[in-house]
Structures are given as structure tokens and as C-alpha cells.
Structure 1
Amino acid sequence: MTLDIRAATPDDAADVLALVTALAVYENEADKVKMTVAGARAALEAGHLNALLGFVDGKAQAMALYFFNFSSWTGKRGLFLEDLFVAPDLRKQGVGLELLTRLARMAVAQGCGRMEWNVLDWNNSAKGFYEMLGARHAVGWEIWRLEGDALARLGSGA
């Protein structure tokens, strides 16, 4: 297997969407994907969406979708991994490790104080993989989300 990893460009919008959709299917949330190829292209062009793509035999088989944030506690940028996906037939072959290693290098080069991501509570294989890397669960922190009608209401001042 020859793995080629590179940064996604706007021309990769369809591949990004296909991999996001494959991840959503794996997570039993396929109906939640609202992104379109045009939307992915626009986000890639604007720099709102950053991704590393992994290609095997010219086909996109893996991705790490990320963005930079800022920690008021560390006073530094952080790298947030939004999505990590590796095609099922390529898992346990070092593809995910290579994507995370490249992101970690990027984070170090950018002076980031940390790299963070979310893990579904049922995904024990992912948790084990991340623990093997030295990552730890941020105990005591919960994800809270404002979306849909609630976001629109608050955003409209209602």
C-alpha cells in the first residue's frame, strides 16, 4: 500500500464530502450531513475548512478535518481535530497514526499549546488508539451545543 497524504484543495470538495458522509454512516448519523460539494468547495476556498487527505492508489481513503482555535488559558493557538476517518479496509495499517502525526507536527510548527478532539462515548477502539498515543480524556468537560431553532432564536434576540 502506498499512502499519499496532502492538504485538501477546493478541487477536493467531492472527496471531502464523500469521506465526511462515510464517517457519518459509521457513526449512524448519515441523515445529519447537510454539507454539499459546493459548500465544501466554498469553505475550502475561504480557509474555513482545512483537511489532510490520504490517498491510496489515487483514491481518497482517509481524512483529518481540522481548524485552529485559541485557548485563553494557555494563551496560544490550538488545533482542533473535527473529524478523523480512515476507510474500514485501511484501519490498523498506520493511516490514522500518520494523519495524527502530521497534524501534531503542524500544531508544533504553529506554536499550538494543544490539540483536541471529541470522541463518541461508544467508540472504545478510538479511545484505545488515542490513549496509546498519550492523549487523555478531559474529565469534567462536556460538549454543549446550540443549533437549529434555538440558535436562530438566540441569534435574533428573541
Structure 2
Amino acid sequence: MNSDQPLINIRKAKASDSEKLWILMKELAVFEHYIDSFAITPEVVLESGFKKSSPDFYSIVAEHNDAIVGMLVYYFIPYTAQNRPSIYLKELYVDQNYRGKKIGEQLMAALRTEAEKNNCGQIKWTVAPWNEAGKKFYERLGANENTEWLNYEWNISK
């Protein structure tokens, strides 16, 4: 194996990963410039992703020497016009010290396997328009930009 390619274990996240997942989620919030509105805590990760009988999200992690160095967070969209579920990829993040080592590709391959196991017709996600490296990464995987739809948000304040 190439010395640039560390031995990485790709696996589904478990409850004991909550704190480490949260750290990567927070790093992603900094990277994507929404840290000021980041409201997730390790307790929220544990409760929402692992303790609820129907979790709000699922996660796949990349592990190197017992450290979580990458994560992918997703959820299922059970009802679609194609009468097959879809997966929505919410977050993909690899620790900056581990980038360029094919970890993102391994995480995406694991997500594709998950989609196939669950008879999903698509995996969908959004990319920030300024994230050129992210766009190139997804295109290298064979993903296509969907220019047929625009994203809208309706923020509901308390």
C-alpha cells in the first residue's frame, strides 16, 4: 500500500462516535461559513442519530487508528415520484490532515452501497457554489449537476 494512503476503516457510525462526529460537524460548519448559527451539540448527535427509534440521520465514518477522520451524514427520503426511496447526503467532511487520500471516495462508495441495499433510485445533495474542490470531487465520481431546479429556503423563527 502507498504510504500516502493510510489504512482506513469505513463503517457505520455508532453511538460511541457521537462526540467525534460532532467535532467534524463543527469543523464543517467553520469550513462552510455557518458556524455562527451552528446549534448542534454532542448530546443532539447522540439523541437524534442513535437513541431515537427512528433516527433523524444516519452516518458513515472513516476511522484511522481509532480516530474518526471523516464522516458522511445522510437520511432517507422514502416517498418519491419514482416510487423508490432516495438518499439525501447532508454532510460529507474529511479532516484537513487526511484530504487527498481517497477517503471521501471511500465514504461515497459506502453510501452508494447503502443506497443500493435500500433500493434507492438516487442520491441527492447540494454543494456551495464557491466550493470548487467539492464540485470537482463529485464530478470525478460521475455525479451530474442538476440545473433544472433551484433551491429555496423558508426560515421559520421562534
TM-score when scaled to structure 2?
0.89
CA RMSD of superposed structures (Å): 1.3
> Residue 33 of structure 2 is aligned with which of 28, 32, 44?
28
> Which has the higher relative contact order, 1 or 2, with Cα contacts under 8 A spaced 6 or more apart?
2
Moved over 3 A (4+): none
Report whether the alignment pairs 1:18 with 2:23.
yes
For the 8 Å contact 1:52–1:65, the answer to whether it is kept is yes
Partners of 1:119 and 1:126 within 8 A in 2: yes
Q: Which runs of 5+ in 1 are unaligned?
A: 153-158
SS of the residue 1:126 aligns to: helix
Matched, 1:106 2:114: yes
**Alpha-carbon contact 1:80-1:115 (below 8 Å) kept:** yes
Query: Residue by residue, what CA displacement relative to the aligned partner does 1:36-71 show, whole Å, maximum 9, x if unpaired?
Result: 111111112212121011111111110000000035
Offset from partner CA, 1:47-99 (integer Å, 9 cap, x none): 21210111111111100000000353211100110000001121111100000
1:52 to 2:57 alignment: no
Q: What is the percentage of aligned positions where both structures have the same residue?
A: 24
- Quick one: distance in 2 between partners of 1:72 and 1:4? 32
| Structure ranking higher in helix proportion | 1
- State the one-letter code of the partner of 1:9: K
User: 8 Å contact 1:66–1:83 — kept in the other structure?
Assistant: yes
Q: TM-score if structure 1 supplies the norm length?
A: 0.89
Cα separation, partners in 2 of 1:14 and 1:31, compared to 1, 3 Å:
same
Partners of 1:144 and 1:29 in 2: how far apart?
17
Secondary structure (helix, strand or coil) at the match of 1:148 reads: coil
Shift of 1:136: 0.6
Amino acid at match of 1:63: M
